[in-house]
Amino acid sequence: MTGRDRETPARSSAAREQSTDDRAAADHPGTATRTGEMEIWGKRVRCHPGIIVEKTLPFASILFILIITLVGRPAAAAALAVVFIAVVFINYRIWSRTTIQFDDTGVVVERDTIFKRKKTIPYSKVASVNINRGITNRLLGTSSLLININSGSGATVPEAVLTFEQDLAESIRSAILHRLYTHSEDQDDGDEPVEMPALFSPLDVILHGLFNVSTYQTLFGLFFLVYSVFQFYVSAGTDGGSTGAVVSFLIFAAMLVAPIVSQIFYYYNYRVYRRGDTIYLQHGLIRSYRTSFDVSRINAVRVKSTLAARLMHRSCIEAEVVGLASGKGQSLRPVLCLLKDDATQQTLLRELVPEFVYDRKPKKQPEGAARVLLIEAGAASLALALVMIYPSIYLYRRAMTATGIAGLTMPYILPVITISLILAIFYAVYVSYRITDLDLGDNLFSFVNGAVDRETVTMNYDRVQMVVTAKGPIARLFDVARSNIYLLSSIGGSSITSGYFHESDLNAIGEIVMERIASGDYDYRKNSL
Amino acid sequence: MVLFTGQRGTGDAAPDPSSGAPGTGGYRRLNRRCMISIYINYGIWYAILLAICTFLATFSQNLSDPYYEIARLALLGVPAAVLVYVVVAPPVFYTRYRYRITDDRVEVRRGVLVIRHTLVPIERVHQVEITRGPIKNLLGLADVAITTAGGVATINYLELEEAERVAELLNKLIGEMLRERLQAPASSVTGSADE
Q: Measure CA B142 to chain center.
A: 10
pLDDT for position A526: 67
Residues of B in contact with A486 (CB under 8 A): 148, 150-151
- In this complex, do A465 and B66 lie within 8 Å of one another by their Cβ atoms? no
Of A3, A294, A488, the CB nearest to B150: A488
Contact yes or no for A267/A335 (Cβ under 8 A): yes
Amino acid at the residue A89: F
- Which of A443, A477, A528, A529 would best serve as a mutation to test chain B binding (most B beta carbons within 10 A)? A528
- CA–CA distance, A502 with A524 (Å, rounded to integer): 30
Residues of B in contact with A521 (CB under 8 A): 190
Reduced to 3 states (helix: H, G, I; strand: E, B; else coil), residue B28 is strand
Of A466, A469, A520, the CB nearest to B124: A466
Of A470, A493, A507, the CB nearest to B116: A470
Q: Distance (Å) from the C-alpha of residue A175 to the closest C-alpha of chain B?
A: 17
Q: Distance (Å) from the C-alpha of residue A111 to the closest C-alpha of chain B?
A: 28
Which B residues, 121 through 150, put their C-beta within 8 Å of a C-beta on chain A?
A: 121, 123-124, 126-127, 147-150
Per-residue model confidence as pLDDT tens digits over A412-452:
888 999 999 999 999 999 999 999 999 999 999 999 999 89
Tally of CB atoms within 10 A around B183: 8
Q: What is the mean pLDDT of residues B85-100?
A: 94
- CA–CA distance, A14 with A526 (Å, rounded to integer): 34
Contact yes or no for A316/A214 (Cβ under 8 A): no
Q: Phi first, then psi: give them for residue A230, nearest 5 degrees.
A: -60, -45
- Which of A151, A293, A465 would best serve as a mutation to test chain B binding (most B beta carbons within 10 A)? A465
Q: What is the mean pLDDT of residues B78-87?
A: 92
Distances in Å between the Cα of B55 and the Cα atoms of A85, A231, B60, B72 are 43, 35, 9, 12
Per-residue model confidence as pLDDT tens digits over B110-125:
999 999 999 999 988 8
- CA–CA distance, B68 with A364 (Å, rounded to integer): 48
Closest CA to A268 of A215, A217, A202: A202
Contact yes or no for B139/B120 (Cβ under 8 A): no
Residue of B nearest to A323 (CA): B149
Residues of chain A with pLDDT under 70: 1-38, 71, 150-156, 181-194, 236-241, 325-332, 489-493, 526-529
Q: Distance (Å) from the C-alpha of residue B15 to the closest C-alpha of chain A?
A: 27
Q: Distance (Å) from the C-alpha of residue A156 to the closest C-alpha of chain B?
A: 13
CA atoms within 13 A on the CB side of B69: 3
Closest CA to A118 of A128, A129, A106: A106
- CA–CA distance, A324 with A130 (Å, rounded to integer): 8
Q: Distance (Å) from the C-alpha of residue B187 to the closest C-alpha of chain A?
A: 11
Contact yes or no for B170/B101 (Cβ under 8 A): yes
- In this complex, do A466 and B148 lie within 8 Å of one another by their Cβ atoms? yes
ipTM entry:
0.81
The top-scoring range by mean pLDDT among A517-526, B10-19, B102-111 is B102-111
pLDDT for position B92: 94
- CA–CA distance, A396 with B190 (Å, rounded to integer): 71
Residues of A in contact with B190 (CB under 8 A): 520-521, 523
> What stretches of A151-235 show up as alpha helix (H) in DSSP?
166-181, 202-211, 215-235
Element (H, E) at A497: strand A495-497
From edge to edge, which strands make up the β-sheet containing B152-159? B127-131, B141-147, B152-159
Element (H, E) at A338: strand A335-341
From edge to edge, which strands make up the β-sheet containing A116-122? A44-45, A98-102, A106-112, A116-122
Q: Distance (Å) from the C-alpha of residue B195 to the closest C-alpha of chain A?
A: 6
pLDDT for position A150: 62
Look at B74 and B106; give whichever has higher pLDDT.
Answer: B106
Q: What is the mean pLDDT of residues B76-92?
A: 92
- Which of A128, A293, A486, A527 would best serve as a mutation to test chain B binding (most B beta carbons within 10 A)? A486
> CB distance from B182 to chain A under 8 Å?
no
Q: Distance (Å) from the C-alpha of residue B164 to the closest C-alpha of chain A?
A: 19
Share of chain B above pLDDT 70, in %: 77
Residues of A in contact with B150 (CB under 8 A): 153, 463-466, 486-490, 493, 495
Closest CA to A482 of A471, A474, A493: A471
Per-residue model confidence as pLDDT tens digits over B148-189:
877 889 999 999 999 999 999 998 888 888 888 777 665 544
pLDDT exceeds cutoff 80 at B87: yes
What does chain B come to in residues?
195
- CA–CA distance, A238 with A172 (Å, rounded to integer): 63
Contact yes or no for B149/A462 (Cβ under 8 A): no
- In this complex, do B150 and A490 lie within 8 Å of one another by their Cβ atoms? yes
In our burial notation (b when 16+ CB lie closer than 10 A, e otherwise), range A334-356 reads: bbbbbbbeeebbbebbebbbeeb
- A-B CB pairs within 8 A amount to 115
Helices and strands per DSSP (H, E), number in chain B: 4, 7
> CB distance from B70 to chain A under 8 Å?
yes
